[in-house]
């Protein structure tokens, strides 16, 4: 029972971070119909920038966290304005290739500034575990889970109850209708990229703090989250949250129970097996919207 609870908690923490990164994918896809393949690099860059702020200024982690979010918002606005906006109206494959190139550029920038070796992250959370019944739980996991839950709630409230959130939802529904209602669609695109960069950076900072170090492997979380996005539904914010938690818990249970039986590898394969099985029943994902087309 103790192993079950430990795997469940770890899965919820990792799944929550998956959900944050998946939200970045979904937000951009909903507003522009584009899948951003540089999302993992936003995560990695956020972790490195936070580490640089902590090392250079010695400010508390909360301050470094907030400053990194501000940096990520500015970076998202800049990239949308300089790189993506000139491509409006171009074939979708051209824009996708640009995001692939952008991921390589960001990765090269990180390696040029900080190198390719693992850099230790300063201790952020107390090392003494908290006892939840018979289960000792790392304070870092509890704080990370709380931060992820807070960010997900704030984003959900933003999309449901603020004017900007409603404008983003209207733009996602139909860009032509949004333009006819006076919604500045280009600004909505810029806002989408800034939010996507910020939520990915938040996930990177929490991962860096939990792991105790940052390196280039953080960028692979962008690829690991793609099954989450497809599972939840490409255009569903609630689906991104649910898909992240499902994949995170499934990975940990597979690693804890199946890996010892099969000799390893089940943790990496399980999300894709679940994805195939669910898509066979619900081709548009758990919460995705089915679009009817006339032929």
Where b means 16+ CB within 10 Å and e means fewer, 178-217 reads beeeebebeebbbbbbbbbbbbbbbbbbbbbbbbebbbbe
Q: What gap in Å lies between CA 16 and CA 278, rounded to an integer?
A: 20
pLDDT at 295: 46
pLDDT at 288: 67
Q: How confident is the model at residue 50 (pLDDT cuts 50, 70, 90)?
A: very high
Q: How far is CA 8 from the centre of its chain?
A: 20
Q: Residue with structure tokens 């949308």?
A: 80
Which residues, 6+ apart, have CB-to-CB distance to 224 below 8 Å? 18, 271
As a whole number, the mean pLDDT across the chain is 84
Region for residue 282 given its phi and psi (left: phi exceeds 0; alpha: psi -120 to 50; beta: otherwise): beta
Q: What is the pTM of this model?
A: 0.87
> How does pLDDT run across 53-86, given as a tens digit for each residue?
998 888 999 999 999 999 999 999 998 888 887 8
pLDDT at 291: 54
Which SS3 state, helix, strand or coil, does residue 252 take?
Answer: helix
Where b means 16+ CB within 10 Å and e means fewer, 104-122 reads eebbeebeeebeeeeeebe
Q: Of 196, 191, 198, which is closest to residue 67 (Cα–Cα)?
A: 198
> How does pLDDT run across 88-108, given as a tens digit for each residue?
767 778 888 888 899 999 999
Distances (CA, A) of 112 to 23, 51, 107, 116, 216: 29, 15, 9, 8, 12
Q: Residue with structure tokens 């074939």?
A: 91
- Dihedral of alpha carbons 135, 136, 142, 145, sign: negative
pLDDT at 292: 47
Which residues, 6+ apart, have CB-to-CB distance to 176 below 8 Å? none
Q: List the single range of 36-40, 62-66, 227-231, 232-236 with lowest mean pLDDT.
A: 232-236
Q: Of 290, 287, 250, 204, which is closest to residue 21 (Cα–Cα)?
A: 204
Region for residue 250 given its phi and psi (left: phi exceeds 0; alpha: psi -120 to 50; beta: otherwise): alpha
In total, the chain counts a number of residues equal to: 295
Supply the DSSP symbol for 255: I
């Amino acid at each position: 029972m103790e192993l079950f609870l430990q795997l469940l908690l770890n899965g919820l923490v990792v799944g929550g971070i998956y959900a944050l990164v998946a939200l970045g994918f979904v937000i951009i896809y909903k507003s522009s119909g584009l899948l951003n393949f540089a999302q993992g690099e936003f995560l990695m860059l956020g972790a490195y920038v936070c580490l640089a702020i902590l090392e250079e200024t010695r400010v508390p982690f909360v301050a470094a966290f907030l400053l990194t979010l501000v940096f990520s918002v500015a970076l998202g606005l800049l990239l949308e304005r300089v790189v993506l906006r000139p491509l409006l109206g171009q074939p979708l494959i051209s824009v996708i290739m640009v995001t692939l190139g952008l991921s390589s550029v960001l990765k090269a920038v990180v390696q040029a500034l900080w190198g390719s070796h693992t850099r230790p992250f300063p201790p952020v959370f107390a090392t003494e575990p908290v006892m939840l019944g018979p289960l000792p739980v790392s304070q870092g996991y509890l704080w990370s889970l709380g931060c992820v839950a807070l960010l997900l709630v704030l984003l959900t409230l933003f999309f449901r109850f603020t004017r900007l959130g409603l404008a983003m939802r209207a733009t996602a529904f139909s860009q032509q209708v949004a333009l006819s209602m006076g919604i500045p669609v280009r600004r909505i695109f810029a806002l989408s990229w800034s939010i996507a960069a910020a939520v990915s950076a938040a996930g990177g900072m929490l991962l860096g703090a939990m792991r105790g170090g940052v390196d280039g492997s953080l960028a692979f979380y962008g690829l690991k989250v793609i099954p989450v996005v497809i599972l939840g539904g490409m255009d569903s914010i609630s689906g991104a949250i649910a898909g992240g938690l499902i994949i995170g818990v499934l990975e940990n249970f597979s690693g804890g129970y199946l890996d010892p039986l099969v000799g390893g590898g089940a943790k990496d394969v399980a999300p894709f097996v679940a994805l195939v099985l669910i898509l066979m029943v619900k081709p548009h994902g758990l919460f995705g919207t089915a679009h009817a087309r006339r032929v």
